Amino acid sequence: MFKKQLSAVTGITLAARAATQRAGREHVYMLNGSRLRDVLIDGRWVTVSVTDPVRQRLAA
């Protein structure tokens, strides 16, 4: 009755925000209260860690 169709779902996340220019091989910045760390890997910026600075301060 109904045929199942396979479809690939892709998503692209874009962020439009004022930020400092990325330089070097590592970039650390704040976004919506979270601290993000991006690393340049094979010519692409990859987010390798996201932390909540408030939790880090409470744990100290």
Structural domain span for residue 38: 26-59
Q: Is residue 53 part of a domain?
A: yes
Q: Is residue 33 part of a domain?
A: yes
Say what the pLDDT of residue 40 is: 92
- The answer, yes or no, to whether residue 48 has pLDDT greater than 70, is yes
For the chain, the domain total comes to 1
- The answer, yes or no, to whether residue 58 has pLDDT greater than 70, is no
Contacts of 28 (CB under 8 A, 6+ apart): 35, 36, 37, 38
- The answer, yes or no, to whether residue 10 has pLDDT greater than 70, is no
Say what the pLDDT of residue 34 is: 87
